[in-house]
Amino acid sequence: MAEKLSSKGKPIRCRAAVSRKPGEPLVMEEVYVAPPMPREVRIRVICTSLCHSDITFWKLKEFPGIFPRIFGHEAIGIVESVGEDVEEVSEGDTVIPTFMADCGECEDCNSKESNLCSKLPFKVSPYMPRHETSRFTDLNGETLYHFLFVSSFSEYTVVDIAHVTKVDPLVPPNRACLLSCGVSTGVGAAWKTANVEAGSTVVIFGLGSIGLAVAEGARLCGATRIIGVDVNQDKFVVGKKFGVTEFVNGGNCGDKSVSQVINEMTGGGADYCFECVGLASLVQEAFACCRKGWGKTIVLGVDRPGSQLTIPFHDVLQSKKSLMGCLLGGLKPKTDIPILLKRYTDKELQLDEFATHEVTFEDINKAFDLLLEGNCLRCVIWMDK
């Protein structure tokens, strides 16, 4: 168990699931978590969940893969202590950390058009965003690297205040933590980035947790047709829970491409297409079945570093289509996550259905197995239960 007495301003010794080598099981270790520096917050993690992004970077053998590292970026916790110049939260507040900053000071954060903080821009850094150092060391004094500015696979973590959103403590933590990344990304992509209109047609490439969250967002926006595309026919059964109305099996289209099938189904293309797998080839397919004149293609999936996207020049010039990416669904965490939590408590937004499994912190490697086997959407990991 972590040390709990007289910890303010001192390092805390606690447990963390440390990734020592790429692709190998995490190792439960005792680590030291340094006190927060100015504009930082130390958080006692209540629960966290495993995202495919954790697995992607856990497998990487070259930079930005770096080890030893503490992964995890979907979480909820309680503020244990704050550094200097932190006024937004206090000790005892319930908070959700996010990989996207919301500093409230820069031009982007003060614009309704962007959630891409220019003061603390997104990057896959092994350190804290403001001071470029780590707050984690093992018992031998070796530096342990951060992941996406959160590192929630530890009983305690330190997060910059720009990456922390104060939330209602009455919302169940095993549901609220899902809005730290995955569900917010999908719902936000439909709600904020695409601005899906009522009565529209939506196509979603990939019905994993992100794609299903897009479906949920499109359903909340009032889309009439939500077409799911996946190579796993069973995903249609799951998708129906989140509003998917039709399904195309990408591996069973005969001599036609998926985009040709979608164009025929929709009479010329969908109003909105979302790529949620992370393959450049699927982005091209999504763009190809996006309605000319006003269609939008939104990219959420993460392809391998260095992947290139190729779209014919005249398809861009003559089609008047839009192609855009989004991080965290285009949400501004400090304002939009509380809105989504309110929609959950008002029984509008579905969160329960995403949390298909729960494990204890000691069984965190089981969460990896479940996600790798395709047997779960989100596995919630309780730190002390």
Q: pLDDT of 322-349, one tens digit each?
A: 999 999 999 999 999 999 999 999 999 9
Alpha-carbon gap, residue 176 to 158, rounded angstroms: 19
Res 216: pLDDT: 98
User: What does pLDDT average to over the chain?
Assistant: 96
Res 340: pLDDT: 98
When pLDDT is cut at 50, 70 and 90, the band that residue 302 belongs to is confident
When pLDDT is cut at 50, 70 and 90, the band that residue 163 belongs to is very high
Res 48: pLDDT: 98
Question: pTM for this one?
Answer: 0.94
Res 303: pLDDT: 85
Res 6: pLDDT: 62
When pLDDT is cut at 50, 70 and 90, the band that residue 241 belongs to is very high
Answer yes or no: is pLDDT of 3 > 70.
no
Distances (CA, A) of 161 to 5, 89, 252, 383: 24, 8, 48, 22
Alpha-carbon gap, residue 95 to 157, rounded angstroms: 12
Model confidence pLDDT, tens digit, residues 39-78: 999 999 999 999 989 999 999 998 889 999 999 999 999 9
Answer yes or no: is pLDDT of 4 > 60.
no
Mean pLDDT of 154-167: 98
Res 91: pLDDT: 97
Q: Are 126 and 105 in contact (CB under 8 A)?
A: no
Which helix (H) or strand (E) segment is 280 a member of? helix 280-288
Mean pLDDT of 16-21: 98
Q: Are 83 and 37 in contact (CB under 8 A)?
A: yes
Alpha-carbon gap, residue 155 to 232, rounded angstroms: 36
Res 236: pLDDT: 96
Mean pLDDT of 352-363: 97
Mean pLDDT of 373-383: 93
Tell which residue, 172, 179, 160, 185, has the closest CA to residue 46: 172
On the question of a cis peptide bond just before residue 68, with omega within 30 degrees of 0, the verdict is yes
Answer yes or no: is pLDDT of 305 > 90.
no
Answer yes or no: is pLDDT of 2 > 60.
no
Length of the chain: 385
Res 158: pLDDT: 98
Answer yes or no: is pLDDT of 20 > 90.
yes
The counts of H helices and E strands in the chain are 10, 17
Mean pLDDT of 205-213: 97
When pLDDT is cut at 50, 70 and 90, the band that residue 5 belongs to is low
